[in-house]
Structure 1
């Protein structure tokens, strides 16, 4: 047996004000999207904003349903819309923010597993990484240069 160590690098900004101006703008779009989320069951609202290589900004938010598996996360809402409306555009950057109506979220909240898989699919499809910035409602903002840092052992089409 051989041990394999997997390491990753994440960068952390102290707060929203410490972000570069373009990322702060993108995160503000994600915050606006989060405030429009439909989350009557979990009371956990998520917003995402994507910057495409054609300078379009696409936003999405979580959309819940009484039949829980029928809802959709903010990240996938935005990604699938971008893929539908701009099929040849690359996703350059993604900003994600999440907040609970029940308590303050003040630490970075990364994408869930299903969203990581969806982001991975688009990184592979476009053959370039997506910078991912994520935060709670307030506090530190984490940055990953690629989804590969968040999901190093990706499941992709090469195994099918």
Structure 2
């Protein structure tokens, strides 16, 4: 037996104001999407904004349903819409912001496991990494250069 060591490198910005202008604008789009989320059960509101290589920006937010788990996360809402409307466009950047009515979200909140898998599918499909930026309502922002940083050992079509 041998040990396998996995390391992830993320980049931390102290606040929204440290982000490059293009990313700051994308995060503001994620804020706007977050404010329109439908989350009457969890009171946890998430917004996502995607920058495509054709210049289009696609947003999504979480949509809950009383029949759990029929709802959909913000990241997958945006990714699936982008894939449906612009099937040949590549996703360059993804910005995510989350807020809770139960507590102040000042720490970066990453995508859930199901969203990481969806991001992985599109990253593999387009053969280029997707930059992922995530935060709470305020405070630090984390950046990952690829979903592989957040989801090592991805499951993709090569496993089938």
- Structure 2 match to 1:73: 73
Structure 1 CA distance for aligned equivalents of residues 18 and 159 of structure 2? 41
Q: How does 1:136-151 map to 2 (within 5 A)?
A: 136-151=136-151
Instruction: Show CA shifts across 1:96-118 (max 9, x none).
Output: 00010111000000000000000
1:153 is paired with a residue of what secondary structure?
Answer: coil
Structure 2 CA distance for aligned equivalents of residues 123 and 24 of structure 1? 22
Aligned length: 160
Q: How does 1:1-160 map to 2 (within 5 A)?
A: 1-160=1-160
What TM-score do the two structures reach when normalised by structure 2? 0.99
Instruction: Show CA shifts across 1:19-74 (max 9, x none).
Output: 11000000000000000000000000000000000000000000000011100000
Root mean square deviation of aligned Cα: 0.3
Structure 2: gaps (5+ residues): none
4+ residue runs of structure 1 moved beyond 3 angstroms?
Answer: none
Structure 2 CA distance for aligned equivalents of residues 58 and 111 of structure 1? 17
What TM-score do the two structures reach when normalised by structure 1? 0.99
2:69 is paired with a residue of what secondary structure?
Answer: helix
Structure 1: gaps (5+ residues): none
Instruction: Show CA shifts across 1:77-102 (max 9, x none).
Output: 00000000000000000000001011
Q: In the TM superposition, what is the alpha-carbon distance from 1:159 to its structure 2 partner?
A: 1.1
